[in-house]
Structure 1
Amino acid sequence: MTQLSDKEKEAFEIRRSFDALGVNGDGKVSVSEVLKGTLYPGFNPASKEATDMIKELDPKGSGLVDFGQYEMFMKTVIKKIEYEKNLFMKAFRKFDKNGDGSVSYEELKEVFLARGKSEKDVQDFFNEADLNKDGRVDYEEFVKWFSKT
C-alpha cells in the first residue's frame, strides 16, 4: 500500500470537505452548506466567517461556490493554519529550554522574568496553562492557553 504525499492528503481532505458540504450533490456549495462547517482539521468557520468566505469566493454574489473556487480558498486557509502552527511551535521552543517537549515552571519563570514579567505573572500563567496539573505545560496546553487569550 502506498502512502499519500502531504499534497495528496491535502487535496483529499479538501475534496472530502467539499463533498461533505455539498450535501445536495449539485457540485456547488451554498452559504447554508458552508455554515455546516468545512470539516478541514483546524478550520471550522462561524456564521459570519462563512458568509465572508462566500463573499470572497463568490464576488458575483450568486451565493454558490464551485469546487475550483473552494479548493483555491481552502489552500489559502491551510497555509494560514500551517503558518500559525509554525509560529506556536517556534514560541513553544523558546520556552522549552531543555527540549523535552514540555515547559517546566522554572523554564517559564526564566523566560517571563527575562521579559520583565513578575513572579505572579509566572504563577498565573502556569496555573492556567497546566490543564492536567502535572506540573508541566506541554505543547497542546500551550497552544490552548495562547489561543484563548
Structure 2
Amino acid sequence: MSFLESPRPSDEEEAFYARCRAAYLSVFRSSLTNISSKQQLCHALQQAGRNPAHATLNKYWTPRTSKLNFDDFCEILKNEKNTEESELMRAFRKMDLNSDGFVSHGELEKALTTRGEKMTTEEVNAVFSLADINKDGKLDYAEVSFK
C-alpha cells in the first residue's frame, strides 16, 4: 500500500492520540523524551486519567525495563481502562465512614493505611493537605476534583 492509499485515522483515534500527547506533555517537554523510571510512568498515567496500582506499574516497568517511549505509553493507555468518576465516588463514599458527606483526616488515614496498597502517615498527610483545598480539615465530594 502506498502513502497515498494508507487509511486515514478515524476521529476517535485522532482524539485518543491527542489525549495521549496532552498527558505525556504534561510530564515531559517533548513526546520524544523517554520515560526513564517507574515513577515517571506512574505520573504520566495519572495525567492520562488512570489510577495505576503497583501491580499495573510492575506489569509495564519490569526489572529489565530501562525506558519507554511515547508509542509504548500510548499502547499502555490502550490496554488500561480509564478510571471512571463513578468508581472514584464509590471509593470516596466508602471512606466516609459516618456518611456525613465529608471525609475527615482520620477517615482518610484509616482507609489509606489499612487497605490495599498501604500508605504511610506522612503520605496520607501530604494527600490530605493537597486535597483539602479550602483548609477546613475535611474533604467533601464537591471539593475533590475528579476531572
TM-score range, shorter chain: 0.3 to 0.5
Larger fraction in helix: 1
State the structure with more CA Rg.
Answer: 1
> TM-score if structure 2 supplies the norm length?
0.41
Ranked by relative contact order (alpha carbons within 8 Å, sequence separation 6 or more), the top structure is 2
